[in-house]
Amino acid sequence: MAVDVLCEVNNCKYWADGNKCDADRIYVVSHTGKQANKQEETDCKTFDPGI
């Protein structure tokens, strides 16, 4: 399992200094079903604007 998960979306409530994600878990989904062939076919469902 990854030790450091990086995130550049600094308006997410899980964003921490150094572009780190401090969420307990990360949930990523595919636009095309269960298998994604490219990065652009995925989204992070963990994102929360925290506002």
Could you list the pLDDT tens digit for every one of the 51 residues in the chain?
678 899 999 999 999 999 999 999 999 999 998 899 999 999 999 999 986
State how far the alpha carbon of 35 is from the alpha carbons of 12, 25, 39, 41, in Å.
Answer: 26, 20, 11, 9
**What pLDDT is recorded for position 51?**
67
**Total structural domains within the chain:** 1
Q: Alpha-carbon distance 32 to 42, whole Å?
A: 8
List the domain range (segments joined by +) for residue 22: 1-51
What is the token pair recorded at 19?
């572009």
> Angle 8-6-3 (CA atoms, 0-180°, nearest 5)?
170
**What pLDDT is recorded for position 3?**
80
**Cβ–Cβ < 8 Å for 14, 23:** yes
Whether this prediction's pTM lies above 0.75 is answered by yes
